Chains A and B, each alone.
Chain A
């Protein structure tokens, strides 16, 4: 049973656009929600993360929006650049099991 559902599977935007990637979770015990970025041939790297007591977190051009009641969170990339073309994974974990549960990933392509 997949505990973190991610959409869309792929996304194509033009340079300067604002791609939005959505995730939904089922386990209300999750208390940590990171986003990872992965380039081809590389391991995932932490991009930004949020706790459920915060509704929004911004780091540079990346923003996480969190809706605890809906059990959903999303990643927004402002002023997207071709260098942002990568696969993005949302994830979740809790104190009972600190391993990350990942969504299936979104492949983002930013065209110039």
Chain B
């Protein structure tokens, strides 16, 4: 158990809908990362937050957004969902946004868009 929690574990929805994925980092970790894992693209970085502030963006679509709240939990919002958004979404956390600081991954949320 990494100490990172993600809810829900599974999510099934229809095209055009909007969903929210939630992540609670390990106790003491201030930095949160979101990654998307799909069969064709592998593990891809979406967005990073540090202590409530957006720090870096990766291959995140404009239909996706995220935020980190004062209690440090984070939410990833996916809207106008398309079939191709079906994937595993992982949250990871680290103490600080420093290269070399271990990123601990949660169990993921499996999103299926029908």
Contact = CB atoms under 8 A, between A and B. Distances in A.
Interface of A: 31-32, 34, 36, 41-46, 49, 51, 89, 93-95, 97-105
Category for how many chain B residues contact A? 20 to 34
Contacts of A46: 102-104
B62 interface: no
A98 B98 contact: yes
A43 B93 CA distance: 12
Given A43-B2, A43-B90, A43-B108, A31 B42 contact: no
Given A32-B100, A43-B90, A105-B43, A99 B56 contact: yes
Nearest to B88: A43
Contacts of B104: 46
A93 B99 contact: yes
| Most interface-central of B35, B42, B98, B108 (chain A CB within 10 A) | B42
A105 B31 CA distance: 25
Contacts of B31: 98
14 contacts: A34-B102, A41-B107, A42-B108, A43-B2, A43-B105, A43-B106, A46-B104, A49-B102, A93-B99, A97-B56, A98-B97, A99-B33, A99-B56, A101-B45
A31 B101 CA distance: 12
B74 interface: no
Contacts of B106: 43
B99 A32 contact: yes
Given A44-B90, A44-B105, A95 B43 contact: no
| Most interface-central of A97, A101, A104 (chain B CB within 10 A) | A97
Interface string B39-72: 0001111001000000010100000000000000
Nearest to B91: A43
A31 B100 CA distance: 8
Contact of A98 (B4, B48, B90, B108): B48
Contact of A89 (B43, B101, B107): B43
